[in-house]
Amino acid sequence: MGLYFFAIFLGLGLGIGFAIVRQYGGSLTSRIATGYIEVFRGTPLLAQIFVVTLFPPALNAWLVASGMAPIDILWRIFLPDPFGNPSIVLNTRILLCAITLGLNSAAYQAEFFRGSMGSISTGQSLAATSIGMTRRQLIRFVILPQSLRRAIPAWSNEAVYLPKYTTVAYLVGVEELFAWAKLAAGRTFLTIEVYVLIAIVFLVLISIISWILEYTYNRVKIPGI
């Protein structure tokens, strides 16, 4: 779950940033943002995670080969467990997976926000400019308040899909919820029940997220539109 919340909020922050830069940045910066978005949307998430998790060993191999000291990639933080089975809560691999998920999500979220920015009439931008607002004020006071509201429905999809994508991290050994499931199944021999329980946890989590977003959307909706 930590993986999910980290990724969705990293994606949210970066996504808004990339959307603004792509839409309102200079020609070079907006091209960089476009490139970033297209690369992350155009390649499979699994490939991205493989590349990123293979990067630290590769970097170390290169450092050693060129006669430098390797960086420590084996650090880890444990969560003490009352049953005497301490579980890893954070290590290089988990951190990199979370960042990759966040970067990937940022690309998708950027497109949602850009779409909702584009749907705000150019007339409002002209009006803001004509009363003397700077570009920064235009984005802050006119574009963002409207585009964030409008992006909520599309954003809900991302928020609901991302928990499922976090399971991809399992393939590179980040076990999270599944590690707990395996352990619990091994202890209790109730394998099916444990996995059903996990499915229910996912379902409940996703329903809660959907509900919160729908509630928020209705609360901040602009009257008359």
Partner 1 sequence: MTKVIEVRDVYQAYGDLEVLKGISFDVHEKEVKVVFGPSGSGKSTLLRVINMLTPPYKGEVLLRGESLMAPNANLSKLRSRIGFVFQHFNLFAHLKAIDNVSIGPRQVLGMTKEEAHDVAHDMLCKVKMEDWGHHYPAELSGGQQQRIGIARSLAMSPDVILFDEPTSALDPELIGEVLQVMLDIAKEGTTMIVVTHEMGFARAVSSEMIFMDEGVIVEKGTPQHFFQNPETERAQRFLLRLEVLYGQAEDEKNSE
Question: Under the rule (CB under 8 A), what is the footprint of partner 1?
Answer: 120-121, 123-124, 126-134, 137, 141-142, 145-146, 149, 222-225
Nearer residue to partner 1 within complex by CB, 69 or 131 = 131
Nearer residue to partner 1 within complex by CB, 27 or 85 = 27
95, two tokens? 């951190």
In angstroms, give the least distance from the CB of 219 to partner 1.
Answer: 13
In angstroms, give the least distance from the CB of 144 to partner 1.
Answer: 10
**Largest pairwise CA distance in the chain:** 70
In angstroms, give the least distance from the CB of 127 to partner 1.
Answer: 4
Sign for the CA dihedral angle at 171, 173, 175, 178 comes to positive
The residue with tokens 């951190």 is 95
**CB half-sphere exposure, 14, CA atoms < 13 A:** 20
Nearer residue to partner 1 within complex by CB, 82 or 123 = 123
> CA–CA separation, 97 vs 105, rounded Å?
12
The single-letter code of the amino acid at 88 is: I
32, two tokens? 């960089």
In angstroms, give the least distance from the CB of 24 to partner 1.
Answer: 15
Secondary element (H or E) of residue 201: helix 191-220
Residue pair 46/143 in contact by the 8 Å Cβ criterion: no
> CA–CA separation, 189 vs 205, rounded Å?
25
Nearer residue to partner 1 within complex by CB, 65 or 222 = 222
In angstroms, give the least distance from the CB of 122 to partner 1.
Answer: 9
Nearer residue to partner 1 within complex by CB, 88 or 120 = 120
